[in-house]
Amino acid sequence: MWGTSISLFLLFSPLQVIASEQAQQPFDFGEMSAPNYSLPPLPYAYDALEPYISAQIMELHHGKHHQTYITNLNAALKTQTEAVHTSDITTQVSLQQGIRFNAGGHINHSLFWQNLSPASSPDAKTSAAPKLVQQIKATWGDEDKFREAFKASLLGIQGSGWGWLIRVQVGQESRLAIVTTKDQDPVVGKGEVPIFGVDMWEHAYYLQYLNGKAAYVENIWNVINWKTAEERFVGTQADAFKILKASM
């Protein structure tokens, strides 16, 4: 294969000219541009989750908090691209924690908005997720026991973080698990598919629930989007994350 290419290369002089022109600028990689993420629009109005999550919380959470993660992520990725371009490895390493935090914030919130739904929608009923509910019952016994376990995990978070129902694929076996993550650590492990997440940062509930986070955890069940949950449950990790591609 290589032999064929080389011989062709030698036969046609126009190619040789092009090749030598390129060789004169060995370090020009062309336009170096970092990916630029933008805020994905909410699939519903800011007040659509009331009375369970107030419009004021939603507007600040989406318009300010999520936007700030994206702004900081884009800035860090731009600096990282420059650092890769100039082979500045110390800068690349120093940027990693900031990228993890801000990219995690962007990933988590993008998934979160989609896995919420106005309570009046049929999507907010567990009947929208027949396969997932069957698996939940097989895992925890019944829906109530699952909700109790999920609630206990959420309330056990010490500081800022998230609770997730995830599907874990291990070879042919697929199982459900409740996991909590600290700060903005995203669920991106091998074989892990996020099904739905609940934001346990204080900014997610404080203006409405104050120190009463147990009430927030109770009420959020009214606005879980089970249709999205079912789609993520039967889909792949890449399917769950397709919202991120759409926000580039």
Partner 1 sequence: MSSTLLRTSAVRSGLRVSAPKAARAGLAGTTFIRGKATLPDLAYDYGALEPAISGQIMELHHSKHHQTYVTSFNTFSEQIAEAAATSNIQQQIALQPLINFHGGGHVNHSLFWENLAPKSQGGGEPPKGELAGKINDAYGSLEKFQGEFNKALAGIQGSGWAWLVQDNVTKDVVIKTYANQDPVIGQFRPILGIDAWEHAYYLQYQNRKAEYFKAIWDVINWKAAEKRLA
Residue 64 Cβ, how far from partner 1 at the closest point, in Å?
4
For residue 203, state whether it binds partner 1 (rule: CB under 8 A).
yes
Would you count residue 6 as binding partner 1 (CB under 8 A)? no
Q: Pattern 96-125, binding to partner 1, x per CB under 8 A?
A: -x---x------------------------
**Candidates 29-37, 42-50, 180-188, 225-233; binding stretch for partner 1 (CB under 8 A):** 180-188
User: Contacting partner 1 (CB under 8 A), which of 7, 24, 158, 172?
Assistant: 158
Helices (H) and strands (E) in the chain, counts: 13, 3
Contact pattern for partner 1 over residues 66 through 95, marking x by CB under 8 A: --x---------------------------
Nearest to 116 by CA among 243, 225, 242, 227: 225
Cα separation, 228 vs 230, in Å, equals 5
3-state helix, strand, coil in the chain (%, to 5): 60, 10, 30
Distance CA 54, CA 64 (A): 15
Residue 201 found at the interface with partner 1 (CB under 8 A): yes
Q: How far apart are CA 192 and CA 16, in angstroms?
A: 49
Phi first, then psi: what are they for 194, rounded to 5°? -70, 130
Looking at the Cβ atoms of 6 and 155, the one nearer to partner 1 is 155
Of 63 and 141, CB closest to partner 1: 63
Cβ-count burial of 50 within 10 angstroms (0-12 exposed, 13-18 middle, 19+ buried)?
Answer: middle
For partner 1, the binding residues (CB under 8 A) are 60, 64-65, 68, 97, 101, 158-161, 182-184, 201-203, 206-207, 210-211
The annotation places the binding site for Mn(2+) at 61, 109, 199, 203
